[in-house]
């Protein structure tokens, strides 16, 4: 019995030593590979920071698809597709909307302190409105009339709007809010690499991110 334990102990020691060496080599190889990888592309935070509120803006802590304050009454709730996020929430559109409202006497008393924008893909927008909620990990915010976060405006294509019409969510007549001007390249502010076309992307060190449908 003692000889067998000694044999197994010696064998396991050798096996563990080999496994540890192989594991260290694999970790070193992964570390060397990761060292060559570029920094991760973080989704920008478009909501204005509020003083004194702890903010989690990282990978797993970022909710890129919903902008606004929950728990406070919503002034305006907009459901739209994610592709519209940066344009819609820019200073030229949603940022300028309160000033435009205040300049008109008939709307001067409207409270626009909490504009909630949901920018999920259109099939998920339809499903969220139909079910009245969506799960974000352990958090399940409700988007029902009772919750106060039901959409006032739904920006979508013909197919999602046709799916929502029988639910009594949208009016029978839709209004165009934008027109397609063709495909475009989105570059950082100031276009530091001077990218003006696909050829420039190939011949520069630009990092590329795409979306599959």
The pTM for the full model equals: 0.64
Q: Which residues does the chain have with pLDDT short of 50?
A: 1-22, 212-213
- C-alpha 91/C-alpha 210 separation (Å) is 25
How much is the pLDDT for 118?
93
Domain 66-167 maps to which CATH number in 2.60.120, 3.30.450, 3.40.190, 3.30.1660? 3.40.190
Domain boundaries defined on the chain? 66-167, 183-213
Q: Extract the tokens encoding 72.
A: 């406070």
How much is the pLDDT for 200?
85
How much is the pLDDT for 10?
46
pLDDT digits (tens, 9 = 90+) for 104-116: 989 888 888 899 9
């Amino acid at each position: 019995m003692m000889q067998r334990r000694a044999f197994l102990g010696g064998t396991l020691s050798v096996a563990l030593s080999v496994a540890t060496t192989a594991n260290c080599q694999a970790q070193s190889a992964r570390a060397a590979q990761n060292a060559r990888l570029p920094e991760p592309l973080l989704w920008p935070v478009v909501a204005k920071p509020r003083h004194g509120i702890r903010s989690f803006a990282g990978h797993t802590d970022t909710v890129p698809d919903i902008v606004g304050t929950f728990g406070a009454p919503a002034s305006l709730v907009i459901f739209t597709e994610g592709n519209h996020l940066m344009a819609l929430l820019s200073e030229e559109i949603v940022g300028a909307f309160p000033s435009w409202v205040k300049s008109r006497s008939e709307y001067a008393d409207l409270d626009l302190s909490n504009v909630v924008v949901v920018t999920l893909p259109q099939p998920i927008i339809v499903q969220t409105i139909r079910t009245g909620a969506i799960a974000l990990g352990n958090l399940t915010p409700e988007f029902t009339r009772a919750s106060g976060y039901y959409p006032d405006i739904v920006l979508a294509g013909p197919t999602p709007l046709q799916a929502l019409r029988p639910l009594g969510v949208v009016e029978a007549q839709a209004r165009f809010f934008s027109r397609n001007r063709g495909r475009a390249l989105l570059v950082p502010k100031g276009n530091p690499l001077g990218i003006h076309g696909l050829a420039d992307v190939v011949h520069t060190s630009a990092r590329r991110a795409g979306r599959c449908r």
